[in-house]
Structure 1
Amino acid sequence: MSVVEGGGGPGVTTPRGFEAAGVAAGLKSTGRADIAVVVNRGPLKVGAAVFTGNRAKANPILWSQQAIEDGVVEAIVLNSGGANCFTGAFGFQTTHHTAEKAAELLGVSSGDVLVCSTGLIGTGDEVFRAKVLDGTERAIAQLSDQGGPAAAEAIMTTDSVAKTSACHRDGWQIGAMAKGAGMLAPGLATMLVVITTDAVLTAQQADAHLRAATRVSFDRLDSDGCMSTNDQVTLMVSGASGVAPDADAFRSALIDVCTDLAVKLQADAEGASHSIDVQVIRADTEDDAVEVGRAVARNNLFKAAIFGNDPNWGRVLAAIGTTSARFDPYAVDVEMNGVRVCSDGGPDRPREEVDLSPAQTHVLIDLKVGEASAIIYTNDLTHDYVHENSAYAS
C-alpha cells in the first residue's frame, strides 16, 4: 500500500468515479473555504456510514442516518463554520433544504444526499442557511476530479492542516479526507471523514468493512475524552474500476487508510505537544486491552506528566488499577519510549533514562495474562489546549 501524505494529495478524488469541490460561503470569519461537496458518478452509488455514539445528535446526523438506510449515496455536502446542532426544527429544515438543493442541481433524489456539519453548537439562523445553500450551489458548479484538496480544506475548523490519505492497489483505489482537532473520543471523534473507493462492493459489504475499520482506528482515537455531536464517517463506492477485490485485502487497505487519518488527527489535536500511543500487550481479551489503554489515555495526571516530560509511571499503574480488566497490578511492566521503567509492579530503569522531549511518545503496558493487544491514540494535556477551548466560542 502507498499512502498519500499531507494535505496536498487528491484524497477523495483519487479513485475513479468521484468529483469534489470546496468553496468559501462566508461561514468562517477567516474567509477560508467552508463548503465541500463530494459526488459519486458511479456506475455504483453504494454508501455506508457510521455515526457518533452521542445521544445528543446534530441535525445533519439525524438526516444522514435516515438517508443511509437504503445503502445508496449519490453525494455528500459538508459545511464547517457551524454545527447546526440544537437549532430546533429550523436547523433540521436547513439540513433538509441543503440535501434538496444538492439533489436538484445534480438530478438525484434528496434522500440519497448525505449532509455533514461541524463548528459551534447552538448557532444557526436565516443567514447561516442562505450561505450554506449558496455555497452548495457554487461548489456543485465547480465539481472536478481534481477537487479533492479543496474539499479537504473546506471541512477544516481548528485543524492546522488538511488531512487526506489514499491507497493504490492492483486495479482499485481508496481515497479519503478528514477533519478533526479536538473532542477526539471514541464513538467516533469530533471528526468528519469521507472515504471513496472505485472497488466493486455491495452495500452490505461496504457497511461491514467500514465498521471493522473504524473499530480499530477512529474508535481508538481518544485525545481528550470528549464525544462530539456531529461525528460521521462515510464510505462511498463507485465501482468504476470494475474490480471486486478480495474481502480481506480490501478490509486491510481500508484499515490502513483509516489508521493513517486517525494518526493525522492525533498529531493535529488542539494544543498538544505530544502524540501518545498507549500500547497494551498480553491482555486477556482485546476489550481488556482497550479498557486499560483508554484508562491511561483519559488520565489527566498522566497526560499532564507527559506534557512536563516527566516519565511518572506510577500514574500509569494508578490509572489501569481503576479498570475491570483481568491482570495483577503487581506483575505489570511499563515502558516509556523504549525504557522499561516498571517491572513486576516495581521500579526498573532510572527515570532519567527516558527521553520524552520528542513529540512522539510510546507507552507499552505488558499485562502478562494473555495474547490480546490494542493501541489507544491520545495526546498530552497542555496550557494551549485549555486556552484554545476556553475561547472557542469567542
Structure 2
Amino acid sequence: MSVTHPAGFRASGVVAGLKSTGARDLALVVNDGPSKAAAAVFTSNRAKANPVLWSEKVIEDGRIDAVILNSGGANCFTGAFGFQTTHATAEAVADALGVAAGDVLVCSTGLIGVGDQSFRDAILDNVPPAVAALSGERDGGADAALAIMTTDSKPKESTIESRAGWSIGGMAKGAGMLAPGLATMLVVITTDADLDAATLDRALRAATRVTFDRVDSDGCMSTNDTVTLMASGASGVAADEAEFTTALTALCLDLATQLQRDAEGASHDIAIEVVNAASEDDAVVVGRAVSRSNLLKAAIFGNDPNWGRVLAALGTTDAEFDPYRIDVSMNGVMVCREGEPGDDRELVDLTPRATSILIDLKSGDATATIYTNDLTHDYVYENSAYAS
C-alpha cells in the first residue's frame, strides 16, 4: 500500500499494451474525498510534454479528482495530435468517473516522439478496465506503482503515519535523467489530512526543493516530470502545516533516494554534502557542479578517491570561497586539507555502494546536499539501447 494507504483513495494498474514486455503500463489514482484539494509541480524544462501542458492548467484551481498515468510513451513533441490525445484521455477518465475533465491530471513517461493513433487507442480503450479495477479485490496501489515504471528495476513506494491521525502515501518512477527541476520521474502523493490547496502547494514546494530537486544523477533534465499531491480530508484531521511539511519532506526524501539507488547502471550512490557555504544557493551550486563531473563520477566507479577532480569541479562555479582553504573528505577520510593533500588517500574505502563526499567551503554557515551516482559501463549501454 502506498497511494492507497491514506483513507479516501483508490488506485489501479492495468495492461494497455504500450510496453513491448506486456507489463502493466496504465495507472489510475482517484480521490474519493470529501476534499479534492491538490497541488502539483512540474519540470522546469522549456520543452514540456503534452501532459504537462495540460496538467499545468488543470492544477490552477487547486482541485484534482483523479490522476491517470501511462508508461511506454512520453507523448512529447507529438504536435497537436498529441495534445488532443491528452485531452481525450482526461475526457475518457472524467466520463467513466462522473467528474470534470478539467479536474483530471494526465501524466506520461517513456520515449519522446511516441504518441500516434495506436498510442491513443491503447490508452483510451483501457480507461474502462482501469476504472473497473478500482473496485477489484486487489489493493490497486501496488499495481499502480508497477504500471508507471519504465527502466526502473523496482517500484518506489513510501508511507508515513502521523500520531495526529492522518497519513501520507506516495509512489514514484524514475531511474535516469535525474537532474534539477525534478527528474525523469512521475510522483503521486496522497494524504487524508484536511488541508486546503494553498497549504498543500506551500508544503509541496518546500519538500521538493530539498529532495527531488537535489537528485542529480546524470545532469540531464526530462520533459515530463510531475509531482502531484492530493488531499482527501478523509481523516477529518486538520494537520498542522509545519508538521505536515516535515512529514511530507521525509516521504519525498525517501522516494528521492529510492530513485537515486535505482539509477540506470549505477554502482555507487553518492551524497555530496557542502557545508559552511556563504549561502544555501552557493552550497547547491557547488554540490551540483561536483555531481556533474564525469571525471569524478568515473573515478568513483573505479574506486579511486581522486579528490583533485572535486576541487576542479567546484572551481568552475561563482560561489564565494577560497579554493586554497577547502577541506574535502571521502567516506570519512579528509583527503584534502586547506587546499592541500590531507590524509593518505589509500585509507579511503570506496567499495561500499554508499559514498559520501563532504566539502567544507569555510565561507559561512549554509549547507546543502546533492545526491548523484557514478558513471558506469552499464549506464552507457542502457542509454545507448533505450529506444531499441
Partners of 1:11 and 1:165 within 8 A in 2: yes
Question: In structure 2, what is the equivalent of residue 160 of structure 1?
Answer: 153
Query: Residues 278-327 of structure 1, C-alpha deviation per residue, up to 9 Å, x if partnerless?
Result: 00011110000000000000011010000000000000000001111111
Query: What's the counterpart of residue 212 of structure 2?
Result: 218
Match of 2:66 among 56, 75, 82: 75
Normalising by structure 2, report the TM-score.
Answer: 0.98
Please point out which of 143, 160, 163 is paired with 1:150.
143
Q: Is the 8 A contact 1:224 1:378 kept in 2?
A: yes
Q: What residue is the counterpart of 2:270 in the other structure?
A: 276
SS at match of 1:27: coil
Return structure 1 stretches of 4+ with deviation > 2 angstroms: none
The answer for the alignment partner of 2:99 in structure 1 is: 108
For the residues of structure 2 that align with 1:353 and 1:287, how far apart are their CA atoms? 32
The equivalent position to 1:38 in structure 2, one of 8, 22, 29, is 29
After the TM superposition, which residues 16-165 of structure 1 pair with which residues of structure 2 at under 5 Å, given as runs?
16-144=7-135, 146-165=139-158
- Equivalent-residue separation in structure 1 for 2:320 and 2:79 (angstroms): 45
Q: Deviations over 1:160-199 (max 9, x none)?
A: 0000001000200000000000111011100000000000
| Deviation per residue, 1:347-383 (Å, 9 max, x gap) | 1111110000001100000111111100000000111
Which one of 342, 357, 365 corresponds to residue 363 of structure 1? 357
Post-superposition offset of 1:47: 1.0
Partner of 1:302: 296
Which amino acid is the alignment partner of residue 307 of structure 2? W
Amino acid at match of 1:389: N
- The aligned amino acid for 2:126 is G
Tell me the secondary structure at the aligned position of residue 329 of structure 1.
coil
Q: Are positions 1:344 and 2:338 aligned together?
A: yes
Q: CA deviation at 1:277?
A: 0.3
TM superposition shift of 1:123: 1.7
Structure 2 distance, partners of 1:199, 1:305, is 46
Cα deviation 1:53-95 (Å, max 9, x = unaligned): 0000000000000111000100000000000000111100110
- 1:86-144 deviations in whole A, cap 9, x for unaligned? 01111001100100000000000000000000000012211111111122221111114
Output the CA distance in 2 between the equivalents of 1:132 and 1:95: 10
Aligned equivalents of 1:273, 1:54: Cα separation in 2: 28
The letter for the 2-side match of 1:25 is A
Q: Could you say which residue in structure 2 is the equivalent of 1:322? A: 316
Residue 187 of structure 2: SS of its match in structure 1?
strand
Amino acid of the structure 2 residue aligned with 1:127: S
Which residue is 1:228 aligned to? 222
SS at match of 1:142: helix
Quote how far apart the aligned CAs of 1:245 are: 1.2
Secondary structure at the aligned position of 2:218 is classed as: coil
Greater CA drift, 95-104 or 144-153 = 144-153
Work out the number of aligned pairs and report it: 385
Identity among equivalent pairs (%): 69
TM-score by length of 1: 0.97
Structure 1: 5+ residue runs without aligned partners? 1-9
Residue 229 of structure 2 aligns to a residue in which SS? strand
CA distance in 1, matches of 2:128, 2:309: 53
